[in-house]
Structures are given as structure tokens and as C-alpha cells.
Chain A
Amino acid sequence: MNIFRLVGDLSHLLAIFVLLLKIWKSRSCAGVSGKSQILFALVFITRYLDLFTNFISVYNSLMKVIFIASTVATVYLMYIKFKATYDSNHDTFRIEFLVVPVGGLAFLVNHDFTPLEILWTFSIYLESVAILPQLFMISKTGEAETITSHYLFALGSYRALYLLNWIYRYYFEGYFDLIAVVAGCVQTILYCDFFYLYITKVMWGKKLSLPA
């Protein structure tokens, strides 16, 4: 474990709870893409199937349980409890256009042709594009609530920190996982224009609005 990965995991945890609290407190999921949340739930479920078979540490197992539970809870709040506030008219990204190609790629490019490893690879590839429905929804509505932009900033920062973690581990531990690094770069690049808007607008107290 290194500081980049620890801060990255905490940033990821913060993002998930910022969103969960926003929906719970405001009793509304306006401006939030339910499709992205479904994809994140799929990412965690397919990635953490080794929860019971591969014990790494208490921290690792605890975080896996928290990530799965909180993301499933978010999907539950959006599609069941506060369904009336779900903005399905703007959350129209065709996620099958993400899941199918990512599933095919996971079969073709992976470290090990075993069920668990293919599912892990699918999860890594899917996570890199899972935010697209959310970014697409913001581009359609033209703006995002400030709390939603904080969520996105924490979520985007987590994988950027993981890139630093992989540089650290490469030099100090000789650890290198090409699949995770490439997917992590794609994932972080997708946030770039949001990061620009966030730093130039939200940090100065303005609302995040996309140029029409």
C-alpha cells in the first residue's frame, strides 16, 4: 500500500458517499445518471467475486464490501425509493453499446483465460467507460448541481491517483499491470474536460454549466 493508492481509495469512497448522501438528504436523484450507477454496481460485483476466495487484507475485504453495498444502495434509491425523481428523459445513453464491446474485449485481451480473470478484465474495461452516461447526461442538461460536480471530481481523481500508484509500484515493487494502466488512462482522460470546467468554475464558486 502507498499514499497514492490510499488517498485514491479514500477519494473513491468519498465520491460514493457524497452521491449517496446527496440522494438520501435531498430525496432526489435529479441530474444523476442511473445508468452509470448500474454500470458501477456491475463493475464492483464482477471485480470482487474473489471476496471470499482471495483474502488480501482486512482493509481490502472491508472496502470491497462497502463499495458493493453502497453502490447497490445508490441504485436502489434511484430506481426504487426515489424513482419519481429519476430523470429518465436525460439519462438516455445506450449502455449496451458499452457492455457488449467491453465484454468482447475482455474475452480477447486478458491476462488469463479463466472465468474470474475474464470477469476482472471486463470490470476493469467497463469501469473506464462507466462514467460516460453521466457525462452524456450533463452535456444534455447543460449543467450539473454543485454536489454532483464534487462527486465527479472525487471519482475522477481516484483513478488519476491510481495512475500515480502504478508509477510508484513500478519503480519500487516492479509491479506492472498493462490492462489496468491502459484502462486507467482512458478513464482519467474521459474526465479531462470535466476537470477543466470544475477547476475553472466550481472552484470559484460558480455553477458547473457546459458551454451551450
Chain B
Amino acid sequence: HIADGKHDEL
């Protein structure tokens, strides 16, 4: 899962 809950994809 993305670091610190951030989604970096569209």
C-alpha cells in the first residue's frame, strides 16, 4: 500500500 495512505496514481 502507498506510503502514508496517499494514492499517487490517477
Contacts and interface: CB of A to CB of B under 8 A. Distances in A.
B2 A112 contact: no
B9 A5 contact: yes
B2 to A, nearest CB: 7
Interface residues of B, number: 8
Interface SS of A by simple majority: helix
Interface in B1-10: 1-2, 5-10
Interface residues of A, number: 20
21 contacts: A5-B9, A9-B10, A12-B10, A50-B7, A54-B6, A56-B6, A56-B8, A60-B8, A63-B10, A64-B10, A67-B10, A111-B1, A111-B5, A114-B5, A117-B5, A120-B7, A162-B9, A175-B2, A177-B1, A177-B2, A180-B9
Most chain A CB atoms below 10 A, which of B6, B7, B8, B10: B10
Contacts of A56: 6, 8
B3 to A, nearest CB: 9
